[in-house]
Amino acid sequence: MLEHKSPTDPARELPRGLDHYEFIREFQEDRNLKSVIHFIPRLNAETEKPLLTPDLKPDLHPIEWTEIFGRSTAKVEIEIGSGKGGFLVDYARSHPEISILGSEWDATWAIYAGERLQKHQLDHAKMLRGDVFYFLRDRVQSNSVDAFHMYFPDPWPKKRQLKNRLMRAEFLEQVARVLKPGKRLFYWGTDHQEYNEASQELFAKTPFIKVLVKDVAEPTEGIMTNFEKKYRIEGRPIYRSVLEFEK
């Protein structure tokens, strides 16, 4: 069961140096869908960001992937922003040997994608509803993920909205940390030219990233997201790249 218990509970071993820190129950399975897990960290009312530990550092107590999937597999992959689950469902159907975690901030889409996973009995795939950046930073163990997928995220096009974009340096640092050693892949796709250009600039100046295919990659294993199918019919340009993270 995904829950964090109080320090007085002997069933939970406390992280180093946090014997005075009270844990919270921040992972909750959806009442109706075992395929959906809600990540609900306790937030600071002023910053709306997860509370820090008493020494003002991120509250790091990484989970085991078996807590999410109920099984152990050689490979774990994460999709950032699964939307209606178009890619997630088809990819999971092709890869029963991989534990696959989709993610969505919006509960409506997370539940919709989770319903599709459950309909197809894809128990090796789950949907995480919540802020995936803080999930990666505070709850995912280093060297534990095999690949990332990020297709057609909200571009947040207005200047005042740019801070909401996930594709930023601190996000890539967390991706690099949680990826396993070796040359690991990150699949990127968008229809938004400016967002793609800004991301490509970021990739180019990030020393641990090598762009294997820039802008013209084919859909991963031929699988298109719901957005991509719609955009291609509309004739929009599609920018797909394959990145390699070297550790």
CA distances from 169 to 121, 154, 208 (A): 36, 17, 12
Distance, first Cα to last Cα, the chain: 32
Active-site positions? 154
Every domain of the chain and the residues it spans: 32-246
Round to whole Å and give the CA distance between 185 and 79. 12
Please, what sign has the CA dihedral across residues 57, 23, 49, 139? positive
* pLDDT tens-digit series, residues 41-80: 878 888 888 888 777 888 888 999 999 999 999 999 999 9
Backbone angles phi, psi at 162, to 5 degrees: -55, -30
For the 32-246 domain, the top CATH level (class) is alpha beta
pLDDT-based confidence at 12, cuts 50/70/90?
very low
Round to whole Å and give the CA distance between 131 and 137. 10
Evaluate whether 56 touches 135 at the Cβ level (below 8 Å).
no
* pLDDT tens-digit series, residues 136-193: 999 999 999 999 999 999 987 787 887 889 999 999 999 999 999 999 999 999 999 9
Round to whole Å and give the CA distance between 85 and 164. 22
Evaluate whether 89 touches 35 at the Cβ level (below 8 Å).
no
In 3D space, the residue among 189, 229, 227, 187 whose CA is nearest the CA of residue 84 turns out to be 227
Round to whole Å and give the CA distance between 120 and 90. 10
